[in-house]
Chain A
Amino acid sequence: MGRFALPASILAGAALVAAYAFQAESYTLFVIALVALTAIVGVGLNILLGLAGQVSLGHVGFYAIGAYVSGILILKGWDFFAALPLAVLVAGAIGALLALPALRVSGPYLAMVTIAFAFIVEHGLIEWRDVTGGANGLMGILPPTLGPILFAEREMALLAILLATLALLGFWGLSESRLGRAMRAVRDSEIAAQSVGLNPVGLKTLAFALSAALAGLAGAVFAPLMMFISPGSFPFSQSILFLFAVVVGGAGSVLGPVFGALVVVGLPELLSDFAEYRLLVFGGLLLVVLWIAPEGIVGLARRLMRQDPRPAQAGGIDVAAALRPAAPSPLAVAGLGIAFGGVKAASDVAFTAQPGAVTSVIGPNGAGKTTVLNMIGGFYKPDAGTIRLAGAELAGAPAYKVARAGIARTYQTTQLFGTLSVRDNVRIAGADPALAEALLAFVGYGGPVAARADDLPHVDRRLVEIARALATRPRVLLLDEPAAGLMRADKDALGALLRRIAETGIAVILVEHDMAMVMGISDHVVVLDAGRPIAAGTPDAVRADPKVVAAYLGGTETRARRRAVPWSGPADPVLATLRLSAGYGAAPVLENVEIAVRPGELVALLGANGAGKSTAMKAVSGLLRPVSGEIVLRDAPVSGLPAHRIARLGLALVPEGRQVFPELTVRDNIRLGASARAERPDAAAFAAELDVLLRRFPRLAERLSSRAGLLSGGEQQMLALARGLMAKPQILLLDEPSLGLAPAIINEVFDVLAELRAEGVTILLVDQMAALALTVADRAYVLESGRVVQAGSAADLAGDATLEAAYLGARPAAQ
């Protein structure tokens, strides 16, 4: 069996080394024993780093604690084999204790807590002289006897090999077990781990304790092996070498610590002839090893190995029956509201999601849909309202409790456990291997079940995430924009899948921008705008609702800003894309997009959320490297150039969400806009230019010295525009300038755009509010699912059915 190839090879390797140990002389035995002990500490650290994703620079502390407990007890006359478990226990208990402060912090803060721990142990050993022998340490720690056998070097080495083998097998068992998978899950995505019902704090504490216990075990053997221990035997640098052993071996891999220990213990021995130059050479070689294999030796090897290509098999399991909730129950939300920093993100949200039905929550960007989902999922604590499922009140419950109550969810950006296999991702949520495969087949995942989740194409990530959510046997399934970034055919398959899921009796709640899909599969649609429900009902009723149309396409209250004289100018475009494809994973979001903007023209790029508008902006500005195709800026190809170079060539993007520098003043923000210019203005020139800009944006004049983060959304949009203009760009790109702004402010912004247009500024505008964008645009392109589906003059497009269809889905007649 392939599954047991690894433990079998561990046993074979151990037997080989043990056989060699029978004829080796004591120096070699010592080296073997030290490699084995370092491997044991490495395995422990691997649990912490490789499985739970926590770093420790203090493991030499646990190693020392194990050594001193065993050494002191042996000197007091204890039998080694009685002292050993106690040393392990003490180290493990201290590890659990250290986890209390350690788990409250992360990143460099965690590193510091563990460094501090190592120093406390070192100085504690020096100062607690009566017990530890102080700086001069403990002498004469005699090796044990077991019956007639005296444990000389050979026996100690064999013992170390045995323990290392057990540790490796234990690690293998752990990483294959539900517990090990749960630890990895917490490391890969704490958020998703909670949503499948795992408790991160408990798991990480356990990892800390196990890890410390193993370090203590190695230390406990180290003491009688050396027969002498002192604080100098446990220098801080050893901690770093332990960590190095795990990283170099390959964090998370079973055999990694063995290779790492060989490097860390063996290399210095090979270098011993270098005498005083040994550390220098050793340090240099460590660097070389890191450069060659930054993901570790085992990681390097695995990358070169072929993967098991077997796809998921349904295996005759009736998934629909398996998924059918024992007691189907509606999810009832009432009066739900939450505010962030005084701004209401959602209020008075109420709906009931019936079992066996698809309930969709829709609304333009910023309407508060994901916020509602996050409140239901337990990631936000609502300020008001109730969330009831089967009689239980869930408002404010933590995520893992919500998950355990039967609410599963998926995320806008998929939250898979990236280093786990597809199958393990589903198993972690509670499915046995057979059901896991059946679920994968059920959702339509056709790839290999052994593939690493990180390596999956986008569409498969979505499907696996749904399968994982289903594996928790939910009563309610929440989906956050599952169709985002998918191609049409994939979207259709996804829609069919969601219906099949609903048919099992699960209440499906869908947040989605793709209207064709929403309208096609929903039983009930709730429309939010600015955090409030504005309409609810069947798809047809909602689509016909003028309030909904206004919310999406931009209201009729916007004024027209047609040019007096239609644009005419040179046909040579300032900016053009040629068969541009771009995206984030294997599946491109944009496909063969061709647009052109000519000098002085204002061109709009329209389309529903998720159509690829922002992706296009990112690709053109260099923030996202295109997959294929060319971008031409003033006759120069710029595709693949970094963003700052493209900016210096005269392209200024005013990004979605404004992206002002919040801690800098308004004046500094504007001034930074000039960074891209070849010749930056001096103080006087800047003052003059600022003056001109402030006349255009009078609101900014009085806020010049206040921090940009304190401005209102509208002011920030003005600022972002001013900052973009400061670059004196050849072309100005605007990404969603109306997003989240009040209508009056939106009008102000668009009036400015009309002014700029009149002054001859070349502009490419992306806006979700199509009607609004068309008030200023000369021409427009309509994007749907990453492709240009329509192009023409603004006047022609304003009444075009394609446009409305691109936003709200085709009318029933067209289906």
Chain B
Amino acid sequence: MVTSILKSRFGLTRRAAVLGLGAAFAFGAPSAPALAQETLKVGLVAALSGQSAKSGEAITRGLEVAIDEINAAGGVLGKKIELIRRDDESNPAKGLLAARELVQREKVVAFFGGIDTPVSLAIVPFANQAKVPFIGVWAAGTAITRNGAAENYVFRVSAVDELVDEAMIDYAVKTYKTTKPGLMLINNPWGESNEKGLKAAAAASKLTIAGAEKFDNNDVDMVPQLTRLKEAGADTIFLVANVQPSAQVVKSLDRMGWAVPVVSHWGPAGGRFTELGGPSAEKVHLVQTYSFSGKLSKKGETVLAALKTKYPQVTTLADVTPAVGIANAYDGMHLLALAIAKAGSTDGPAVRQAFYEIGTYEGLIKTYSKPFSPSNQDALGKGDYMFTHFKGAEIVPVN
């Protein structure tokens, strides 16, 4: 079964063939120089296995659909784009090693970054030093793009934790008249960085935090944490976690019989939130940069159709999750192609300059206009977040 998958979905590549011959000295054989390459290689370093595998798959799909479109239109600089992916296993050391391999061995023009903020943080100094554009399409840690480098090669088409946190606070105050929020945070780097962001945003809005509670990915019972927040007088819960623990929070609220408003980061969008969390999951309002539900733009229709054609597993809207991963990656790839075309070369510094010169691009998430500048390497801002909730298996905008 597994081998058949390997054969059907995975064309054995040069390196694997080398492995097949048992040539352990493959380290010593450098790739052909960039100029002689027939394709333009772009890389991806993301968690493709383990807990984040689904997100890694979404990014892959977004990139591949965009690359198909670009290649169908003749490619960039007359060359087809080829995607080379590496699994970082959520381990910063593996991510950094993969980034070096992509840049130095595969001679990628630019590469995309994956899910985990620490992995991206580990890669950032290398990308700046190697002068190869590194485009984040998921990890939301603020310091990734605001890294203090004089020549910053790191761009992002994704949310920024600080901004999301401000948006969540604003939304809660506006919608629920929140005065004393409680934080429910996954005990990982993502939760940690949002704890900082939410506390800062709350302070800016003169809100008192009722408490900040942590839980692990495998926890089945969040009643203790929620009870403490309830006793501290929390009137809104801010939730930062992936879909499975988020569902546990919803179930724990159910068991407590506590009907408190929940405003969530985009984690629940990563899977079948209502299936896992039950009907109450629909009450959770969550941040999104994009949703395939509801009335789609023309671009949205096209991309959804392309996804369904390219991936037979995609049949319903519940299969195009996490939508943000697909959409961010899709737009990121197109923006990169525009930059390379504008630069007229694959030279890193030239492509970087060209990023700043991108004019208008009608993307999936929005119509980008001058998306990047040396003072803002993030294409998405506070205004690009929308609040949504689950309706059955679909994510629909609130209202």
Distance in angstroms between the alpha carbons of A25 and B93 in the assembled complex: 18
| Known pairs A27-B97, A226-B93, A273-B84 / 7 extra A-B pairs, C-beta < 8 Å | A25-B104, A137-B189, A227-B125, A230-B121, A235-B90, A270-B18, A271-B16
Interface flags for A257-269 (1: CB within 8 Å of B; 0: not) read: 0000010001011
Distance in angstroms between the alpha carbons of A266 and B101 in the assembled complex: 13
* Interface contact A279-B89, CB-CB below 8 Å: yes
Interface flags for B88-112 (1: CB within 8 Å of A; 0: not) read: 0111111011101101110000000
* Interface contact B98-A136, CB-CB below 8 Å: no
* Interface contact B27-A28, CB-CB below 8 Å: yes
- Of all chain A residues, which has the CB nearest B96? A226
Closest Cβ–Cβ distance, residue B116 to chain A (whole Å): 7
The verdict on A805 contacting chain B, using a C-beta distance below 8 Å, is no
Residues in A with CB closer than 8 Å to B193 are 136
* Interface contact B117-A136, CB-CB below 8 Å: yes
Task: Give which listed residue, A26, A137, A276, contacts B92 with CB less than 8 A.
Answer: A137
Distance in angstroms between the alpha carbons of A28 and B30 in the assembled complex: 10
Distance in angstroms between the alpha carbons of A233 and B192 in the assembled complex: 17
Interface residues of A (CB under 8 A from B): 20, 25-28, 30-31, 34, 126, 129, 134-137, 139-140, 222, 226-230, 232-233, 235, 262, 266, 268-280
Task: Give which listed residue, A136, A273, A275, contacts B118 with CB less than 8 A.
Answer: A136
Interface flags for B110-124 (1: CB within 8 Å of A; 0: not) read: 000000111101100
Closest Cβ–Cβ distance, residue A156 to chain B (whole Å): 13
Distance in angstroms between the alpha carbons of A280 and B1 in the assembled complex: 13
* Interface contact A269-B189, CB-CB below 8 Å: no
The verdict on B141 contacting chain A, using a C-beta distance below 8 Å, is yes
Distance in angstroms between the alpha carbons of A280 and B116 in the assembled complex: 21
The verdict on B399 contacting chain A, using a C-beta distance below 8 Å, is no
* Interface contact A272-B98, CB-CB below 8 Å: yes
Closest Cβ–Cβ distance, residue B146 to chain A (whole Å): 12
- Of all chain B residues, which has the CB nearest A281? B6
Distance in angstroms between the alpha carbons of A20 and B53 in the assembled complex: 37
Distance in angstroms between the alpha carbons of A20 and B30 in the assembled complex: 14
* Interface contact B15-A272, CB-CB below 8 Å: yes
The verdict on B73 contacting chain A, using a C-beta distance below 8 Å, is no
Residues in A with CB closer than 8 Å to B141 are 136
The verdict on B10 contacting chain A, using a C-beta distance below 8 Å, is yes
Assess A139 versus B143: contact at CB under 8 Å? Given A232-B119, A232-B189: yes
Residues in B with CB closer than 8 Å to A235 are 89-91
Residues in B with CB closer than 8 Å to A262 are 24
Task: Give which listed residue, A25, A136, A139, contacts B30 with CB less than 8 A.
Answer: A25
In B29-86, the 8 Å CB interface with A consists of 30, 48-50, 53, 56-57, 84-86
Assess A279 versus B49: contact at CB under 8 Å? Given A228-B125, A272-B101: yes
- Of all chain A residues, which has the CB nearest B116? A232
Residues in B with CB closer than 8 Å to A27 are 97, 100-101, 103-105
* Interface contact A228-B91, CB-CB below 8 Å: no
- Of all chain B residues, which has the CB nearest A279? B49
Closest Cβ–Cβ distance, residue B341 to chain A (whole Å): 27
Assess A273 versus B48: contact at CB under 8 Å? Given A25-B104, A30-B97, A266-B24: no
* Interface contact A228-B122, CB-CB below 8 Å: yes
Assess A232 versus B90: contact at CB under 8 Å? Given A126-B187, A226-B96, A273-B15: yes
* Interface contact B117-A276, CB-CB below 8 Å: no
* Interface contact B16-A226, CB-CB below 8 Å: no
Task: Give which listed residue, A31, A227, A280, contacts B27 with CB less than 8 A.
Answer: A31
* Interface contact A135-B97, CB-CB below 8 Å: no
Residues in A with CB closer than 8 Å to B302 are none
Distance in angstroms between the alpha carbons of A280 and B27 in the assembled complex: 22
Residues in B with CB closer than 8 Å to A25 are 30, 104
Interface flags for B282-320 (1: CB within 8 Å of A; 0: not) read: 000000000000000000000000000000000000000
A–B complex contacts, Cβ < 8 Å, 15 sampled: A25-B30, A27-B101, A136-B193, A137-B189, A139-B143, A228-B96, A228-B122, A230-B92, A232-B91, A269-B101, A270-B15, A272-B15, A272-B86, A275-B86, A276-B53
The verdict on B87 contacting chain A, using a C-beta distance below 8 Å, is yes
The verdict on B188 contacting chain A, using a C-beta distance below 8 Å, is yes
- Of all chain B residues, which has the CB nearest A272? B86
Interface residues of B (CB under 8 A from A): 2, 6, 10, 13-16, 18-19, 24, 26-28, 30, 48-50, 53, 56-57, 84-87, 89-94, 96-98, 100-101, 103-105, 116-119, 121-122, 125, 141, 143, 187-189, 191-193
Distance in angstroms between the alpha carbons of A136 and B48 in the assembled complex: 20
Distance in angstroms between the alpha carbons of A114 and B108 in the assembled complex: 42
Closest Cβ–Cβ distance, residue B218 to chain A (whole Å): 13
Residues in A with CB closer than 8 Å to B2 are 280
- Of all chain B residues, which has the CB nearest A139? B121
* Interface contact B13-A135, CB-CB below 8 Å: no
* Interface contact B16-A273, CB-CB below 8 Å: yes
* Interface contact A278-B87, CB-CB below 8 Å: yes
Distance in angstroms between the alpha carbons of A437 and B244 in the assembled complex: 68
Closest Cβ–Cβ distance, residue A617 to chain B (whole Å): 51
* Interface contact B192-A134, CB-CB below 8 Å: yes
Closest Cβ–Cβ distance, residue B27 to chain A (whole Å): 6
Residues in A with CB closer than 8 Å to B94 are 268
* Interface contact A229-B27, CB-CB below 8 Å: no
Assess A135 versus B19: contact at CB under 8 Å? Given A269-B97, A272-B86: no
* Interface contact A276-B56, CB-CB below 8 Å: yes
Closest Cβ–Cβ distance, residue B120 to chain A (whole Å): 10
Distance in angstroms between the alpha carbons of A266 and B98 in the assembled complex: 12
Distance in angstroms between the alpha carbons of A273 and B20 in the assembled complex: 13
Task: Give which listed residue, B15, B28, B100, B188, contacts A26 with CB less than 8 A.
Answer: B100
Distance in angstroms between the alpha carbons of A30 and B89 in the assembled complex: 18
Assess A135 versus B15: contact at CB under 8 Å? Given A226-B122, A233-B91: no
Task: Give which listed residue, A31, A232, A276, contacts B49 with CB less than 8 A.
Answer: A276
Residues in B with CB closer than 8 Å to A28 are 27-28, 104
Distance in angstroms between the alpha carbons of A276 and B9 in the assembled complex: 11
Residues in B with CB closer than 8 Å to A276 are 48-49, 53, 56-57, 85, 87
- Of all chain A residues, which has the CB nearest B101? A27
Distance in angstroms between the alpha carbons of A20 and B26 in the assembled complex: 14
Task: Give which listed residue, A230, A273, A278, contacts B13 with CB less than 8 A.
Answer: A273
- Top-7 shortest CB links A-B: A276-B48, A27-B100, A135-B189, A228-B122, A230-B118, A27-B104, A275-B85
Task: Give which listed residue, A135, A229, A274, contacts B192 with CB less than 8 A.
Answer: A135
Closest Cβ–Cβ distance, residue B216 to chain A (whole Å): 10
* Interface contact A228-B56, CB-CB below 8 Å: no
* Interface contact B189-A136, CB-CB below 8 Å: yes
Residues in A with CB closer than 8 Å to B191 are 135
Assess A137 versus B118: contact at CB under 8 Å? Given A27-B105, A227-B125: yes
Residues in A with CB closer than 8 Å to B30 are 25
Closest Cβ–Cβ distance, residue B31 to chain A (whole Å): 11
Residues in B with CB closer than 8 Å to A137 are 92, 118, 121, 189
* Interface contact B192-A136, CB-CB below 8 Å: yes
* Interface contact B26-A233, CB-CB below 8 Å: no
Task: Give which listed residue, B24, B49, B187, contacts A278 with CB less than 8 A.
Answer: B49
Assess A266 versus B192: contact at CB under 8 Å? Given A230-B92, A275-B85: no
Distance in angstroms between the alpha carbons of A129 and B214 in the assembled complex: 14
* Interface contact A34-B87, CB-CB below 8 Å: no
Assess A233 versus B92: contact at CB under 8 Å? Given A26-B100, A272-B101: yes
- Of all chain A residues, which has the CB nearest B18? A270
Closest Cβ–Cβ distance, residue B286 to chain A (whole Å): 22
Most buried by B among A34, A135, A229, A266: A135
Assess A279 versus B87: contact at CB under 8 Å? Given A27-B100, A136-B193, A271-B19: yes
Distance in angstroms between the alpha carbons of A275 and B63 in the assembled complex: 15
* Interface contact B122-A269, CB-CB below 8 Å: no
Task: Give which listed residue, B18, B50, B97, B105, contacts A34 with CB less than 8 A.
Answer: B97
Residues in B with CB closer than 8 Å to A229 are 92
Residues in A with CB closer than 8 Å to B118 are 135-137, 228, 230, 232-233
Most buried by B among A140, A277, A278: A277
Distance in angstroms between the alpha carbons of A705 and B127 in the assembled complex: 76
Distance in angstroms between the alpha carbons of A279 and B94 in the assembled complex: 12
